[in-house]
Structure 1
Amino acid sequence: MTGTLLFIIGPPAVGKMTVGEQIAARTGLRLFHNHLAIEPVLRFFPFGSPPFGRLVDRFRRDLIEEVAASDLPGLIFTYVWAFDLPEDERAVDQFAEPFRRRGGRVLFLELEAAQEERLRRNQGASRLAEKPSKRDVVFSQQNLLELDRRYRLSSEGRFDDRADYLRVNNTHLEPALVAATAISYFRIPLQSGQEGCVPQA
Structure 2
Amino acid sequence: MKLIILFGPQAVGKMTVGQHLAAKTDLKLFHNHMSIDFVSQFFDYGTPSGKRLVGMIRHEIFEEVSKSDLKGLIFTYVWAFDLQSDWDYIEKVSNLFESRGGTVYLVELEADIEERKKRNITENRLIHKPTKRDVKWSEEELIKTYQKHRLNSLPEEITKQNYMRINNMGLEADQVAELIKERFEL
TM-score by length of 1: 0.90
- SS of the equivalent of 2:150 reads coil
- For the 8 Å contact 1:67–1:74, the answer to whether it is kept is yes
2:99 corresponds to 1:101: yes
Larger Rg: 1
| Count, aligned residues | 186
Match of 1:92 among 90, 93, 98: 90
Aligned equivalent of 2:2: 4
Aligned equivalent of 1:63: 61
Aligned equivalent of 1:23: 21
Aligned equivalent of 2:166: 168
Query: Shift of residue 48 of structure 1?
Result: 1.3
CA distance in 1, matches of 2:159, 2:79: 19
Identity of aligned residues (%): 46
Aligned equivalent of 1:178: 176
Q: What does 1:116-195 correspond to in 2, within 5 Å? A: 116-159=114-157, 162-188=160-186
Match of 2:40 among 24, 39, 42: 42
- For the 8 Å contact 1:33–1:76, the answer to whether it is kept is yes
Query: Shift of residue 162 of structure 1?
Result: 4.0
Query: Shift of residue 97 of structure 1?
Result: 2.2
Aligned equivalent of 1:197: none
- Alpha carbon RMSD of aligned pairs, Å? 1.0
CA distance in 2, matches of 1:157, 1:6: 20
Structure 2: give runs of 5+ residues left out of the alignment: none
CA distance in 1, matches of 2:159, 2:58: 28
- SS of the equivalent of 1:75 reads strand
CA distance in 2, matches of 1:175, 1:146: 25
CA distance in 1, matches of 2:137, 2:51: 20
Query: Shift of residue 158 of structure 1?
Result: 3.0
CA distance in 2, matches of 1:27, 1:40: 26
Structure 1: give runs of 5+ residues left out of the alignment: 189-201
CA distance in 2, matches of 1:53, 1:161: 29
Aligned equivalent of 1:195: none
CA distance in 1, matches of 2:176, 2:38: 29
Query: Shift of residue 101 of structure 1?
Result: 0.5
Match for 2:47: what amino acid?
S
Query: Shift of residue 93 of structure 1?
Result: 1.2
Q: What does 1:108-119 correspond to in 2, within 5 Å? A: 108-119=106-117
Query: Shift of residue 161 of structure 1?
Result: 5.5
- For the 8 Å contact 1:160–1:166, the answer to whether it is kept is no
2:12 corresponds to 1:14: yes
